[in-house]
Amino acid sequence: MGKKINTKQIKYFNPLNDYFIRYLFTDKGSSESILLDFINSIMINANMKTFRSVEILTPFNLKKNRNLKETIVDVKCITQNGSVVIIEIQLQGNSRFPERILYYWSVNYSKLLKHGERYDELTPVISINLLNFNLDKTKNIHSCYMLYEMNNKKLLTDHLQIHIIELKKFKKNTLSKDLNYWLKIFTSKNLEASMSEIVKEKPIMEEVQKKYNNFVKSKLMMMEYEKKEAYLYGNQIMLDEERRLGIEEGIKKGKEEGIREGIEQGIEKGIEQEKYSLAKNMKNRNMDINIISELTGLSMEEIKKL
């Protein structure tokens, strides 16, 4: 795995780094029990049936995961009853994110049948999304979406199940016990201290602790972790700057045409500039144009001109 590094040098570790998440949840032979516990914590909080076992479908591979730019989902597994579970961690997003979630769910659902197979061979696909931003202004931390008839609330099918967890809204001890533990881990500013505290009450966290220690002691994996952090940091700086410029322009224009109208126009222009800047940045990193279009809302033609 490479040379060991001194874990005391790590002042802050981002538990939502997708490279670490893949290692934590998809390392075949050591991640199954951890992944099962996390999925079941979501099910318990939503008052749904839990699972007995999972088989990882996207196994972690150090060589294949290096320099990974984009994947449809971070984690994918199948349960003992055939339900497929997909998990995505999203640190940055916009108002179009629900469409993205639905699209990824549909891609995975459509792959369940091969040509000539019957519809009764389809199984549920459960989408779990951990968001490090607020999707809306409600106080809901964990939202679960299914297909219901609007008037009598009759469930059409349990094959579509979408869980959205907005981590920015999380406060201690507001959810079911097990999910509280997991969200404390994912939102921790001091991961080692949080794990040491939780492991006393939740034994599975011993396994999480072991995997964390293995990860931070691997020079190779920490290099990939740092690359991802640098990329995310650069993206955030760019987005913040675009928003600031938009607001400043709005205030300046507001002095001439009315403060409120000017600020609104400036913010709108800033958001529009943000889309183009983000799209250009992603295009320069050779990301798929379809994904760029989906994330920014820009057309293929607009992206090709950048």
- List per-residue pLDDT tens for the chain, 306 residues long: 444 445 455 568 999 998 899 999 999 999 999 999 999 999 999 999 999 999 999 877 665 555 544 445 789 999 999 999 999 998 877 778 999 999 999 999 999 998 889 999 999 999 999 999 999 889 999 999 999 999 999 999 999 999 999 999 998 888 999 999 999 999 999 999 999 999 999 999 999 999 999 999 999 999 888 888 877 766 666 555 555 665 556 555 555 555 555 555 555 666 667 777 777 877 776 666 777 777 677 888 888 888
What are the distances in angstroms from CA 44 to CA 18, 104, 175, 176?
24, 24, 10, 7
Contact 16, 130 (CB under 8 A): yes
The Cα 97–Cα 112 span in angstroms is: 24
- Per the listing, tokens 């997003």 go with 93
- Positive/negative CA dihedral, 28, 30, 33, 37: negative
What are the distances in angstroms from CA 28 to CA 31, 76, 123, 151, 293?
6, 12, 23, 45, 34
Per-residue pLDDT, 266:
59
Amino acid 226 reads E
What are the distances in angstroms from CA 50 to CA 12, 53, 109, 111?
33, 9, 20, 24
**C-alpha closest to that of 55 among 23, 26, 89, 88:** 26
Total residues belonging to the chain: 306
Task: Show the beta-strand stretches assigned E in the chain.
Answer: 54-56, 75-79, 84-90, 125-131, 142-148, 155-166
Token duo for residue 224: 């990939």
Residues of 126-137 as b/e, b for ≥16 C-beta within 10 angstroms?
A: bbbbbbbeebee
Per-residue pLDDT, 1:
47
Residues 6+ apart with CB under 8 A from 240: none
- Per the listing, tokens 């602790």 go with 209
Token duo for residue 207: 């396994």
- Per the listing, tokens 């769910």 go with 105
Contact 266, 242 (CB under 8 A): no
The Cα 134–Cα 179 span in angstroms is: 18
Token duo for residue 289: 């144009």
The Cα 112–Cα 102 span in angstroms is: 16
The Cα 287–Cα 230 span in angstroms is: 17
Per-residue pLDDT, 3:
45
